Amino acid sequence: MEDLTQEEWVEQLANDNNAVVLDVRTDAEVAEGIIENAIHIDIYKGQEFVDEIEALDKSKNYYVYCRSGNRSGKACQIMEQLGFENAYNLEGGMLEWTGDVVEK
């Protein structure tokens, strides 16, 4: 797992042809807007979250975010434990996000 600043996250994501953006916020948070093309899996779903993460392609690079960066950091740790090699946490999360968001 690697913590990336907003700038690092955006730059690395833009140059990554194997990238998947993962939003681990709640449904209510996602209703306020989501980063375009992000997959939404709520970390608060417990075992269901783990099951949905395990079903993802481990060969991809995951760019993970939440509201502030705390839950996405935990999600990256869980992903590492499940065998994902490349999980990148967005420091500051949506609170500091300056990029575009779309309606879910």
Sheet containing 87-90: which strands, arranged edge to edge? 2-4, 87-90, 61-65, 19-23, 39-40
Q: Which two three-digit tokens encode residue 12?
A: 């690395």
To the query of whether residue 76 is one of the catalytic residues in this protein, the response is no
Active-site choice (66, 78, 79, 94): 66
5 by DSSP, 3-state: which? Answer: coil
Provide the sign of the torsion angle of the four alpha carbons 65, 67, 73, 74, taken in this order: negative
Catalytic residues: 66
